[in-house]
Amino acid sequence: GGILSPDARMKVLNVIHAIRADASVKCPDGAEKSFEVGAALVQRMHPDDWVSDDKKATTKVFAQELGDRWGIGDPGCSNGVLLFLSIQDRFAYIKTAVVSQTVMTDSLSETVIDNLRPLLKGGYYDDALLQAVLQINDVLKGKSIPGLKTTWFSMFRGLIRLIPFVVAIGVYLLPILAMIVVFVLRAVLTPIAWLLDYVTNLWGRRRAELDLQRVQTELERSEFDQTMCPICLEQFATSGHDGCTVLS
What values do phi and psi take at 42, rounded to 5? -125, 160
Looking at residue 37, its pLDDT comes to: 93
**Beta-carbon contacts of residue 10 (< 8 Å; ≥ 6 apart):** none
Looking at residue 235, its pLDDT comes to: 44
User: Contact 133/112 with Cβ under 8 angstroms?
Assistant: no
Rounded CA separation 104/197 (Å): 67
Looking at residue 238, its pLDDT comes to: 45
**Rg of the chain, C-alpha, whole Å:** 45
**Beta-carbon contacts of residue 234 (< 8 Å; ≥ 6 apart):** 245
End-to-end Cα separation, the chain, in angstroms: 141
Extract the runs of DSSP E, i.e. beta strands, from 36-192: 36-42, 80-86, 91-96
Q: What is the 3-state secondary structure (H, E, C) of 170-211?
A: HHHHHHHHHHHHHHHHHHHHHHHHHHHHHHHHHHHHHHHHHH
**Local structure of 10: helix, strand or coil:** helix
The pLDDT profile of the chain, 248 residues, written as one tens digit per residue, is 568 889 989 999 999 999 998 888 889 988 889 999 999 888 887 777 777 777 778 888 888 888 888 898 898 898 999 999 888 888 889 999 999 999 999 999 999 999 988 998 888 889 999 999 999 999 999 888 887 554 455 566 567 767 777 777 877 788 888 889 888 888 888 888 888 878 876 776 676 667 567 656 655 665 444 444 444 444 444 444 444 434 33
Rounded CA separation 35/72 (Å): 9
